[in-house]
């Protein structure tokens, strides 16, 4: 059977909104673009500016160099810190090396950094919910003493906690985790430690929550869901997991080359969404690939987003 005959079985693609770039990612990408125009290349970025391979590859083609270690950057150069946040030790190391720092940390992540420092100063023990392999927790926990916090990844970790000697306990969370992601752990901790302080409501990234709510709504309308995003992206992977949990075959793809024909053999309605670090052009490429046999495309707005973040005063 040809690719065309298989695709013809699909009747409509629902392109859900919100999808793709969130305000923090837009800001970080724009910071790099402005810095390229202002200073030229090579320009150095510590870690992937956002977790999307296409975005990183496009910047690399322009002469941007991505590094993990500060000592990889020539002395006196300019370095951009990624949207995910970085521990104070890296800022100190960069300054000692004579580097000019341009900070692209998402303002929502910065807010959690400040909360961690404030709660520690007020004598709280911090239970931080997050992924140990993600850069965001490393940045937040780097703000405080190791004895002031514990990182919890799942319910099993929570059940191992012994905090009977801690009078003041607060929960903070990685911004890319939604209420659903943390609900089970938070409920358990509330029962074990009734006096704990719950995480501030606005610590959860609006984009994470909105995109997950959109997938829940989308799952009720379609046969198959495509999530456009990188496997390095925490929120993209979670969108895939959520689609599956909602009872729909859900696939995470970086680009159209990863799409398999048999995913759509029995699908009349296909839903397309994207992680918060996925550029519009990549989403468009995938939609064009799917619709090449004339399948209709319909925009489906679940939640309206109007949030934006200003660029730093100094770039």
Residue numbers annotated as active site? 136
Residue 29 half-sphere exposure, CB side, CA atoms within 13 Å?
23
Task: Confirm if 24 and 207 have CB atoms less than 8 A apart.
Answer: yes
Residues contacting residue 104 through CB under 8 Å, at least 6 positions apart: 27, 28, 31, 32, 49, 80, 81, 82, 83
| 260, two tokens | 């398999």
Strand pairing report for 250-253 and 224-228: parallel
Q: Taking the mean position of all CA atoms in its chain, how far away is CA 79?
A: 21
Strand order in the sheet with 78-81: 64-67, 43-46, 78-81, 100-103
Task: Confirm if 28 and 49 have CB atoms less than 8 A apart.
Answer: yes
Task: Confirm if 144 and 115 have CB atoms less than 8 A apart.
Answer: no
């Amino acid at each position: 059977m040809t690719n065309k005959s298989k695709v013809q079985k699909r009747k409509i693609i629902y392109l859900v909104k919100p999808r793709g770039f969130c305000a923090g990612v837009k800001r970080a990408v724009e910071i790099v673009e402005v810095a390229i125009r202002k200073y030229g290349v090579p320009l150095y970025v510590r870690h992937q500016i956002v977790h999307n391979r296409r975005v990183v590859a496009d910047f690399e083609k322009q002469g941007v160099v991505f590094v993990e270690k500060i000592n990889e950057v020539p002395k006196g150069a300019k370095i951009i810190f990624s949207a995910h946040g970085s521990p104070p030790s890296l800022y100190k190391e960069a300054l000692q090396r004579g580097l000019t720092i341009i900070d692209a940390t998402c303002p929502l992540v910065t807010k959690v950094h400040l909360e961690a420092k404030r709660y520690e100063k007020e004598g709280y023990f911090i239970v931080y919910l997050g992924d140990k392999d993600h850069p965001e927790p490393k940045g937040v926990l780097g703000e405080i003493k190791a004895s002031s916090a514990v990182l919890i990844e799942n319910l099993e970790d929570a059940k191992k906690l012994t905090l009977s000697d801690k009078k003041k306990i607060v929960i903070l969370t990685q911004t890319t985790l939604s209420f659903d992601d943390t609900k089970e752990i938070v409920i358990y901790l509330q029962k074990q430690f009734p006096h704990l302080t719950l995480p501030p409501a606005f610590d959860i990234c609006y984009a994470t929550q909105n995109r997950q709510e959109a997938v829940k709504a989308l799952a009720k309308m379609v046969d198959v869901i495509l999530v456009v995003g990188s496997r390095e992206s925490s929120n993209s992977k979670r969108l895939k997991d959520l689609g599956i949990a909602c009872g729909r075959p859900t696939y995470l793809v970086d680009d159209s080359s990863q799409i398999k024909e048999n995913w759509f053999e029995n699908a009349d309605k296909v839903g397309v969404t994207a992680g918060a670090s996925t550029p519009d052009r990549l989403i468009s490429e995938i939609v064009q690939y799917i619709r090449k046999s004339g399948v209709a495309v319909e925009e489906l707005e679940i939640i309206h987003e109007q949030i934006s973040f200003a660029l730093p005063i100094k770039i």
